[in-house]
Structure 1
Amino acid sequence: MSQSQAALSKIQTILSVWDQGSPSSRNEILLNFLNNNKGKTAPELDQEYGLAASLFLSRISAWLRLTYLVGTCVGTQLKALNIFVSATSGHEFMEEFIEVGGILTLLEIISLKQSKETDKGEALKLLAVIAGSGRHHKEIICESFGIRAIAECLARAKSEDTQDNARILLQLLAQGNPKYEVQVYKGLIALLPSTSPKAQQMALQTLRIVQVIVKSANPSLVEPLINLLSTVHLEVQYEAIEFIRELMNYEVQDQLLESLVRSLRPTREEIIAKNKQLADALSDAPDFKAPLPAFVKQASSAKTIGILCRDSSDLAEKLLRLRMVHHVMYAMGNTDFADSQRQSSLTLEYLVRIFPSVNEAVKQAMGEELYELFMENPENLYIKLNAVQADVLVSNKVNIPAASSGT
């Protein structure tokens, strides 16, 4: 018997067992297939199965469509499909899988609440292989409402591996896909209010990459981005601040600066609303005392403003025209949250040392004694403040319409 005849006999036996077999016997066939064929090229698969590998692929694809809702061997099927679809020179295998509705099936798997996290991860990997094969396939995924399904999967996923696979796929869909890059961008913005800090962090990381691709910044980005400064998760706060710095080169610069300055002085309504949100979130842990989100946002806004001022004297002068010093001093007097006082003091110290006009105005507003205390150790000023001095900071009337650096 020739090699080709032996291969054909082998696949005929496999398909016969498959067609008559139970789920467990089919799963065993798939496990053997995985063990023996990882990394093989499409010609090698055809040679292994007597040019009938497509018949096996079609059976796996059909079984997946019949079983993904109940979860029978889904992960094993997806791994087997990945061998076909990702095989070098396997374009025909990929097209066959797509033609039988493979993309829609994968998107449904990642959208189902009952799908296992590992199955979602395998489905996302398979979609990434398809997306990585070219613009045409990226467009098919997007036309199948894939962006929304993938973004929602990232937001809801319980596993960081699943979230990371979703993030990679969204990034792939934005690259080399001009027809849908803005839609991916908007999908990432929609993830910023997510309740998952990991999803927020990944959305920000990917937005920083996609922003360069889309070139123009969407104004709808500003509010959810600034709101992320109220997070107690430092990894999210870091990504938000870095993204704000990068957005200073885009048309949303003024909107961001105004929002940052406003955040230094939260309204009573904002404090009450944020406090209620926090109380609801911590309803299962009544003894846990967390800082009010409005005050966390105040502190991180002061920190961000300080970073922006150090980045650019032009930005510093723009912020000064927004009465930023007045609001920074107000935050310094917030005895309810020490980090607001500390971050605000450090930002004000920089401005005082760089701008003579700011130095004079601050010295006059504080009075000699408080000013000397401030300049002696800005970072720890909040420890030494008494109630009268805090009130002086909160009620200051500093207004510096223009300033020039002394350096």
Structure 2
Amino acid sequence: MKKFMTLAVASILSMSAFAQDVYKQISKIKDYNEAYNLLKSNLSNMSAEQKAKCYNKLVDLAYEKVVNEQATITSNQMAAQLNTKVEPYDTIGLYNAVMQALENGVLCDEFDNQPNDKGKVKPKFHKSNGDRLYPIRFHLINAGIYYQNKDEALAYKNLATYVDSNDYPLFKEQDKSTDASLTQMAYYAARFAYFAKEYDKAEKYADIAIKDTAMADDALQLKLAVMQNQLKSHEDTLNYVNKLKSIYANDENNDMVFSTICSMLISLNDKAGLSEFVKVKLAKDPNNFTALAMSGQANMNEHKWDEAIADLSKAASKQPENVAVLASIGNSYMYKAQEAAERATANGKKLSPEAENAIIDVYKKAIEFLEKAKNLDKEMQYKTVWAYSLYTCCYRIYGADDPKTKEMEALTK
């Protein structure tokens, strides 16, 4: 037993000596990649304290690169003012070094805060690394901008790291009150995360961006899109609507959330729920454009054409150049005319001249609003909501061979 214990102690001492030897080797290396590879290949034989020392050395190497490139940038700024020669600097090297310094600083801090052999936590590098690394975070923003049209993955990584690093334990003592860029960068990080389909992160970053009054609407819209993209079942949709209602309960003036709830209730075919929701909104705000437009949409879904026209006309009075609303009024008139014709000719009955004239008048009202929508839709963004309807109305009134009908038919293609 004594011999076994002696061997065990000798083994431990040997491992410790080996780890110290690795640190001595790393401390003499000037190249970051060489030091990094040496550490990675020997981590399994090192204590937390030794790992912290080695990771701190990697921070030193990366930070030295940052300082050198920053010095060149500062010197160039002065040279530009004095109209003297500027020196080239390593842009990509700078951005890589900033990321390396931060990543290794976090790992150093993790091991630096683990208990030592006596069970006590006595970090050696926490304060110095926090103080020197927190100020260089702004380079992550520059890197995000630099890479946005070159490498979206790197742009995303840099902006996400900027946002995430705000909560690093390494920086818990730093004064973050002066960081005016966090919420804005969170929004752009959320966009990158959304397109990368990392929806949890996208929602996390969007929640940070929402705190910025200037970014709140865009961030909320992105958050809603993130939530919608995760709907896979009827139950998911119901839960999503309930979440939206919770958001809306805290901000009943938010028309975007109101509109989204209405759209989801329509998709769920919850006619009663939609009707009640819109009714409550209009009782509080009778002239609310969104509520009037949604009420009009709900009435269209119920084939209540006169009610739809009334609501949509009120909405159009608030936004007289809203193409979608004008087209919806035109469509309501068209469907009203079609249903009137169907009723008048039911059971093989022949359409009387008086009934035909009355129906033609309704088609003409439809054309009036559909043409307004067409004329306002300069970029043809909403062509799908007015073009075919306009052609249908012209076909019904003027016939297939009329030049106006032909003109409208061409717009459907």
TM bucket (normalised to shorter chain) is 0.3 to 0.5
* Larger RCO of the pair (alpha carbons < 8 Å, separation 6+): 1
TM-score by length of 2: 0.44
TM-score by length of 1: 0.45
* Structure of greater Rg: 2
